[in-house]
Each structure stands twice: as structure tokens, then as C-alpha cells.
Amino acid sequence: MRTVTLVVSAMIAGCLPRPQAAQPQQAQQLPELATAEPQATALPPRGPRTMDPTLMQQPAPQPSPTGQQPQPDPNPAQSQPQPYPPPQAYPPPQAYPPPQAYPPPQAYPPPQAYPPPQAYPPPDPYGRPLPPPPESKSHIHDGEVIGDFATVGALASIDILVRQDVQNGSAGTLILLAGLAGGGGAGYLLTQKYPVDSGAAHSTTIGLLVGAANGALLIKPTGWDDADQVLGLLLLGSAIGAGSGFAYGQAAALTSGQATFIGNVTLLGSATAALGAIAGSRNGKFDDWENGTLAIGLDAGVLAGALIAPSLDWSPRRAKVVFAATAVGALVGGMLAGLTTSTKRNDSLSGETSSEANGDVVAACMTAGLWGGFGLGIAMTHDSAPDPTVGKRSTSTPTSAGTSYVPYVGDRGQIGMMAGGTW
């Protein structure tokens, strides 16, 4: 019975697990120190041996029931706590380079004296007129120029009909329409090529009329009294007059008031020449004296108006009022002369006395009425505002301020000159 009990005890002891040696708590708390490589450190001096309290708390190993001794730990270094490595020494701080000395400041040149300010002109007591609004292109003025050149084309067609003695009505109508279309087309091309305003249109019309009148006055001295010759002179004069009037209107940049003044002076010159022709006539016929006097008065009036008109600042309203006063003056002067003057003449054969108006007195009164109305119209409109469009197409535009120069000194010693103004 005892032998059996020992055998059973031995079998039970063999089935039980082998007890492991207790591990220190420091190794469990710092596992990373266990794997670190050991470093040689200076050991502290040996003193009295003290017992680690953690080791005292660990239970003593129990003997194995089988009577075997516990195996020692194969890695005793991992079970012992490793000391911390000493802190690494930081390299000494590098010395900063000494500060560089700044260069001495540059001496700035003394400032130059500024030019004296320019004196402004005295203020205008009457005030300057507002700038005119932009003039819009009017088709009425284009139509006037086209109509003038269409008239020249119609005269050319009539000259062709008379010279060729065209008897077919359809052919004559076609030639006349062709002349109108050709002249109108030439005027249309001019209006598309050049800007046409009221001054250029009116000067073209005046040139057409004056040219045709000069052509008619050439009939007497040349002796060309046939129909085709007369039409040839009228065509030549009208073509030259229309072209010259258009070119003058473009070159002089006439306004509507200036062109109307040219027509007014042309009327005065023609009327004065007619008075001289009537007063100087001795045989009562239209002869060389009358023809030459009219030509001189007509051309002198046109030339005087063309020279004076560009220097005037008359508005279109003032020019029209003066022109109307001139016409009214001629009418009033002629009516007064015709109603108040008469010449008595006795008929020797019948013995009766008759009266008739004096032509010389009527012509003189009409001319005086023309000039009187012209002067009265100027006096009535002397306080009219000037035309703001006069000279607006001038190529030279005066500037209100000249060019000024100011010295410039920069913050780094730069020296220069600044200029300002309008060039």
C-alpha cells in the first residue's frame, strides 16, 4: 500500500508544470532598455551591501516536487535593470562674425533753385463760350453739293443736244438723265471723300452762280452768240465756278455765316456795278461798257467777300439777318424812287405832256437801299453772340500752359530733370 502511494505521488509530480524564476519588475516596465547594448560606465565605489527591497518582496523559489533544482536564467543581463546613458554634450555655440561697418553716407548736392512760376493771363471779363457740340454730318449739305454738280451735268447734256441737233425725244430724255446722273454722281463722290458742312455747301453754290454769270458776260466780248456757243460758255463757267467754290470751302473751313456773308457782298458788288452801268450808259443799249462794269463789280464782290469772310465770327443767324436787311433795303429804296420821282416830257407833235419814271434815279435809290440795309443790319446785330465754331478746324491749337522743367534728386543720390507740359 505504501509503495503504491509513492508511485502515484511521483506521477502527479511529473504532470505538474515546472515553476519559473521570478522576473524583476524593472525589466517589465522598461523593455526597451533590455534590448539596448550595454555601455561601459564607471561603477560607483563599493560600499556596504544593501538589499533591494523589490527582491525581498519576491517569493522564494519552491522546491520541485520531483526533487530537481530550478535552472538558472540563461540571459541574466535582461533581468537586471540597465542604467540610463549619460546625456550627450551639445557642441559649443559658434561665435557670430563681427558686424561690418557701414559706408559713410554720401553727401547730397545742394538743391537747385526752382524756376519762378509763370504768370497766368488775366481773367476774361466776358467769360469764354462753351465748346461747341460735335457737329453731326447733315445729308442736306451733301444734297446741296450733289445738286450743284447735277446742274453742271444737265448743262452738259443740253449742250450735247443742241450741238448734235437731237430730234428724237426719247434719246434727248436719255441724254439729259445721263447728264444729271453723271453730275450728281460726281458730287456724291466728293461728299464721300471730303467732309461737307454748311460753309462748303454754300460756297459751292455761290461759285456755281458766279461762274455761270461770268460765262454769260463773256458772250459780248467773244461774239459767240449761237446757241451751242452760249451753252458752251455757260457750261465752262459753271463747271469752273462749282469746282472752285467747293475747293475754297474746304481750304478755308468756312462756316454757314461766313458763306452767307460772301453771298451778301457779291450781291452788293453786282448791284453797285449795275448802277454804274446804267448811269454811264449813253445810248440805252447793253454794250461793252455795261458788260465790263457788271463783270468787274461781280468779281470784285466775290473776291472781297472771300478775303473778309474767314476773319469774321458772325453766327449763321446774324449773317442771315444782315442779308435780309440788305434785300429789304433794296426793295424799299426802289419803291420810294419809283413812287416819288418822275420825268415830264412834252410831245411836240400832239402837244400832250406825259410822265415816266427816271431809271437812273430808281437804280441809284435801289443801290443806296442795298448799302443802307446792309449797314442797318450790322448795327442791329452788333450784340449778337459770336459763332463758337469759328476756327475749330484750325490745325494749330494754342496751349494754356507751356513746358516746365523741375530738377529731381533721388533718395540714392540720383540727379536728373523732370519736364512737364504739352507737346
Higher confidence at residue 61 or residue 296? 296
Q: If you write DSSP's letter for every residue of 274-311 in order, what string do you get?
A: HHHHHHH-SSSS--HHHHHHHHHHHHHHHHHHHHHGGG
**What span, in angstroms and rounded, lies between the C-alpha atoms of 209 and 255?**
19
The set of cell numbers assigned to 258 is 461766313
Q: What is the pLDDT of residues 312-347, one digit of tens each?
A: 888 889 999 999 999 999 888 888 877 777 665 555
* 296: nearest Cα among 269, 278, 275: 269
**What span, in angstroms and rounded, lies between the C-alpha atoms of 146 and 143?**
5
pLDDT of 253 strictly over 90: no
**What span, in angstroms and rounded, lies between the C-alpha atoms of 298 and 212?**
12
- Which 3 state secondary structure label does DSSP give 120? coil
Cβ partners under 8 Å of residue 9, min gap 6 = 65
pLDDT of 179 strictly over 70: yes
The set of cell numbers assigned to 398 is 494754342
pLDDT at 252: 87
* 298: nearest Cα among 382, 207, 400: 207
Share the mean pLDDT of the chain. Answer: 74
pLDDT at 397: 41
β-sheet bridge partners, residue 177: none
pLDDT of 107 strictly over 80: no
